[in-house]
Amino acid sequence: MHNFYGDFNATISADERRSCRSGDMASSREFAEAINTAKLIDAAFSGNRFTWSNNEGGQARVWACLDRVLHNQEWSFAFPSFHVVQDAWNAKNSTHPIFNVLLKLKKVKEALKKWNKEVFGNISVQQHNLDLMALPSLHEVHQIVLAIPADGAAGPDRFSGAFYLGCWNIIAQEAAVYVFQGGPIPQAVNVSLICLIPKSNSPSSFANFGSISLYNCLYKIIATKLSYILPSLISLEQGAFIQGRAITDHVALAPELFRDINRKSWGSNIVMKVDMENAYDKLDWGFLKKVLSQFGFSSD
């Protein structure tokens, strides 16, 4: 796949040159033969047909088309954007000159976005899938293990971070890398202990408790690898339960929003309070899989 562009200092045919003097047609034939031999295609362009002038006056003035873009057939299949822009630009719009240009630019932007998605897809998502499916090195997994607190509470398997740190040289190859080699994750790895922390002095229901989950260290290694792509999936408006963010920021923002709620705006304003307290036990796995699929996660 090749693309060449610039000033070639040569024309292809007589109609690409305007002058009272005859041009060097031998060089034009050689240039045309070279293009045909290389099986290149002229991308063409719109606007002034001549791209160069010698700026002389009278009969000495020479205009010529010396600048062009050449590409092979593979490039045409992979990057048909020129045609996309031309089709969108030629669409009928407003009769007002200024609004016409603005509407044309808007349609070109929409057409290029659609073309980019159809040809390339979501590059960021593709890179994330490659990163997730790639087998990490022992060094990468070791860095994750080092981030696990050595004195943290152990999970259901009763092995704390201190065990993995102290015995890393013995267990590294099998206990740390195999979890990324694909296949279903055993239930013994996915299991967790849930500790209930009272929110009040006299808790009377589960709603009065806060929960903390204690996972096995192997599960934490897997979760840490996933955490690298979470910032691109979670909205910036989510303030709680995200590393580096604090729900107190939203607490401080709320009074400002309510203060300006009566300000006139197009479409009016509305405030909604949604209680997500019991959402965790009501989400269907099929729904979650569809959401991940829409984000572009690989089924592999």
- Token digits for 61? 């003035």
pTM: 0.44
pLDDT tens-digit map of 21-35? 766 677 777 888 888
Q: Is pLDDT at 254 greater than 60 in this prediction?
A: yes
DSSP for 82-140 reads HHHHHHHHTS---SSHHHHHHHHHHHHHHHHHHHHHHHT--HHHHHHHHHHHSPPPHHH
When pLDDT is averaged across residues 218-227 and rounded to a whole number, the result is 72
Q: Which pLDDT value is given to residue 77?
A: 62
Tell me the residue type at 161. G
Model confidence at 235: pLDDT above 60: yes
Which structure tokens are listed for 173?
């190859």
Residue 278, pLDDT above cutoff 60: no
pLDDT greater than 80 at residue 203: yes
Q: To the nearest whole number, what is the mean pLDDT of the chain?
A: 76
Predicted confidence band of residue 184 (pLDDT cuts 50, 70, 90): low
